[in-house]
Structure 1
Amino acid sequence: MSDLQKAWAKNRLSAMPLETFDEREEEGEETGTVSELPEHVDDDSSSASSASSTGTVIPSPSQNLFARPQGIPRGRTLQPIPWITYFERELFLRDEDSPTSPTIHAYLTSPVDKGPLFVMHHGGGASGLSFAVVGDEIRKRLPAAGILSLDARGHGSTTIPEGEDLDWRLETLAADLLSAIVATEKEMKWAQLPSIILVGHSMGGAVVTELAKSGKLGNALLGYAVLDVVEGSAIDALQHMQTYLSTRPTGFPSVESGIEWHTRSRTIRSSISARTSVPSLLRFDEQPGDARPWKWRTDLGATQPYWENWFVGLSKKFLEARGAKLLMLAGTDRLDTELTIGQMQGKYALQVFPEAGHFIHEDMPEKTAVSLVDFHRRNDRSAMVLPPKVSDLLRQGKRV
């Protein structure tokens, strides 16, 4: 290139406007949507949770989509988001009267005044932080609501006494859930239990249904919601579980690489969800010569003997348990015959999100939150205005 051509090119380039980096475009291309982070102060302490799949959330124009709390950097980052961004405290709950009981780790944001308590139970392999983002979305729409989300035994930071065998039977998991609710009431010194809505995903859906069917929560139970688990399709899917587990990496070089794998494989499409949930799925286990010291906390393969126990009879229990019922699915093809008939008879509310994958609440936290808040409002007994009793009217001297 001649000196004249170089000079021309230099002048030409200097006259061109520079293209500025637009983080919104980058984030949008990666996830298809951008969720607003809750406006809490960041913290270096951490914990986090579960896995998502697919879905496109179209936010309303009035939302400030790109606001971030202080301390969380902009741009395409793999930095974990700490649990304190979403919850006010963590609890370690134990039944002191039972020496074999686990120490249940849970995350809590307390209800305000007479607000309801959404009690969340995650699916197999996940943790309590699976519901972190959707819990925050619930409180944006219902500020008085409380969120209690626990780690099941063998998951997250819940531990069992040394020497005890892991017991993943459905009855045991349901007993753990009840114990966590009662222990939280005692720990927080509540005068009584608030109105409770149980929410369970996959395995957790079977657990909350089991607890609802038992009637042990009494009048405190307002209703229960089951996310993307149906007896027939769940049992059919179990034969493919080992194939799925064999395709997962056995470990990761770092937490950030674990987050990257989840987003790159589109297991979790939302980077916010991945940064929140993935860290609590991993534990550091350094061995000489091991380039991937971050291993899965939960050995899902070890739960195989319990898979049928979780799901056999689920549809019948879901329909028969007392309380309002909500079933949220990623597709109507998941409905089995019993639930199809029940839906036609109006025995429960059905919400379908065809854009979502199996992890509905992480794929579409805003829409899931809207459905759960609407479910509460439709069944909120405290909002009911009952007619006056005839005896009261007569005492007041009124004609009846």
Structure 2
Amino acid sequence: MSALQRSFAKAQLQNLPPPPAVFDEAEEDAASEEHPPLSKNGSSSSASSTGTITASADKNLFERPTVRQHPRSQYEPLPWQNFFEQEIFLDGDDIRSHTYFTPPATAEAPLFCFHHGAGASGLSFALLTSALKAALPEAGFLSPDCRGHGQTTTATKDLDLSLETLATDLAFVVNATSAKSGWSKLPPVVLLGHSLGGAVVTELAHRKLLGNSVLGYGVLDVVEGSAMDALQSMEQYLSTRPRSFPSISRGIEWHVRSRTLRNSNSARVSVPPLLTQKADNDDVPFTWRTDLSATKPFWEKWFTGLSTKFLSVPGAGKLLILAGTDRLDKELMIGQMQGKYQLQVFPESGHFVHEDQPEKTAMVVADFFRRNDRSTLVLPPKVDDLIRQGKLKPVHQAK
């Protein structure tokens, strides 16, 4: 066969459709254990390579490649100790707040205070904390479970998740941590909230519950307009997700396979606190710790007026990180054109931008802190000081 004929035959073979896949029960079980290949940022690739027709070593062009088997350990939980130095409980009037904490190395170092979204926990920020720690080694990190979530408990069974209450709770966590740590004053605080948490940190900054300690605040993938629209389909979403899982690992696997979380490493640490087992028995399934349906009375009030409050807080830097520009509403578009806040878009991530893209998010947040760090401001010397130092003559002597 000539070189021209071989080239023509190769082109024709490449255009042939792949043979239909036939699986027996054993193969289906193996496939259920398989996880899509991960990109460098930990996100699942949108195109799986397991069904690709490739040439084998012995030139059998139509031989299907061997399916790679991924160990179950890929879905095993990761301990919180890998990301934070401490976990502490803080007792208030009607709440016992649980929070993950890494103290600042110095009194001048910043404290990043996080607030997770509805149904999540403080470990939602685990990977972001590690990435920020690498960028800002002296910084501190505080990531609480809000009431009704994680290990935080309240004195009453009536769930109060109003925006005012959650903002007050977050201020309590910061001040109680300061008292427990023996700080003479609060360090520079950077607030960062995801989804519902974005509304909470904005409310806290708007009401100045931490005084002038707030250096800046950031909101992750939530704006008023798109949030109000998304609430219309919230109940439908809740009805489609599994009610229980036979194990924590299966819960992690579901979050990754459904692409609720696109970073498997983040899922391994952030998903376990979302699930609980009513009895210590292997036959008892794991169910959702937080009943999101019960929070419906608060949904609309969480986000009403969010854009106005976000833009109106004076004296603090403002950061908005989104997964798509289509989420911007009119008020935020105008604010962006006027330079009232910093905007960053990660179109390759899902709703959990800080979990899907922790390194990129950390880079943006660290730069945001440096840009707003008041300790780096060099103010001109006062005239009186220059006169006392003999560097400037008084006006009457200058004549």
Q: TM-score, normalised by structure 2?
A: 0.80
Query: Could you tell me which of 181, 203, 207 is aligned with 2:196?
Result: 203
**Residue type of the partner of 2:40?**
T
**1:162-241 equivalences in 2 (<5 Å):** 163-241=156-234
List aligned pairs for 1:248-267, cutoff 5 A: 248-267=241-260
Matches within 5 A, 1:3-22: none
AA partner of residue 358 (structure 1): H
d(CA) in 1 for partners of 2:158, 2:98? 18
Aligned residues: 337
Amino acid at match of 1:110: P
* 1:123 matched residue in structure 2: 117
| Greater C-alpha radius of gyration | 2
Match of 2:147 in 1: 153
What's the Cα RMSD here? 2.4
- 3-state DSSP of counterpart to 1:149: strand
Secondary structure of 2:84's match? coil
Aligned counterparts of 1:258 and 1:28: Cα–Cα separation in 2: 14
Query: Hey, what's the Cα distance between the residues in 2 that align with 1:206 and 1:150?
Result: 16
Q: Distance in 2 between matches of 1:199 and 1:93?
A: 20
Q: 1:243 aligns with which of 236, 241, 257?
A: 236
SS of structure 1 residue aligned to 2:74: coil
Query: Which residues of structure 2 form unaligned runs of 5+?
Result: 1-32, 47-69, 394-399
1:79 to 76, 80, 91: 76
Partner of 1:249, secondary structure, is coil
| Separation of aligned partners in 1, 2:186 and 2:332 | 31
Asked if the contact 1:54–1:269 (Cα under 8 Å) also holds between the matched residues in 2, the reply is no
Would you say the 8 A contact 2:77–2:272 is kept in 1?
Answer: yes
1:213 aligned partner, one-letter code: H
For the 8 Å contact 2:168–2:209, the answer to whether it is kept is: no
Question: For 2:267, which of 267, 274, 297 is the aligned residue?
Answer: 274
Partner of 1:11: none
Q: TM-score, normalised by structure 1?
A: 0.80
Instruction: Tell me which residue corresponds to 2:3.
Output: none
Going from structure 1 to structure 2, the CA distance change for 1:312 and 1:112 (only over 3 Å counts) comes to: same
Residue 342 (str. 1) matches residue 341 (str. 2): no
Could you report, residue by residue, the CA deviation over 1:235-274 in whole angstroms, capped at 9, with x for unpaired residues? 0000100010001111111111111111121212222111
TM-aligned CA deviation for residue 385 of structure 1: 1.1
Match of 1:39 in 2: none
Unaligned runs of 5+ in 1: 1-25, 36-51, 56-72
Aligned partners of 1:120 and 1:150 also within 8 Å: yes
Q: Is the 8 A contact 2:41 2:357 kept in 1?
A: no
The aligned amino acid for 1:151 is: D
Who is 2:371 aligned against?
A: 378
Residue 190 of structure 1, CA deviation: 1.1
* Aligned position for 1:90: 87
| Cα-to-partner distance string for 1:178-237 (whole Å, 9 max, x where unaligned) | 000010001111121100000000000000000000012122110000000000100000
Q: CA deviation at 1:78?
A: 1.9
Inter-CA distance 54–105: structure 2 relative to 1 (3 Å threshold):
farther
Give the one of 127, 132, 137 matched to 2:131. 137
Q: Is the CA contact 1:54–1:268 (under 8 Å) kept in the aligned structure 2?
A: no
Contact kept? 1:54, 1:363, Cα under 8 Å: no
Cα distance change of structure 1 residues 276 and 194 upon mapping to structure 2, 3 Å threshold: same
CA contact (8 A) 1:251 1:292 kept: no
Q: Any idea what SS the aligned residue of 1:239 has?
A: helix
Aligned to 1:312: 304
Q: Name the CA shift for 1:380/1:190 in 2 (closer, same or farther; >3 Å).
A: same
Q: Which amino acid aligns with 1:83?
A: W
In 2, Cα distance between equivalents of 1:354 and 1:110 = 33
1:361, distance to aligned residue in structure 2 (A): 0.1
SS of the equivalent of 1:199 reads strand
Matched, 1:296 2:303: no
Flag the structure with more relative contact order, 1 or 2, with Cα contacts below 8 A and sequence separation at least 6.
Answer: 1
1:55-70 matches, within 5 Å, as none
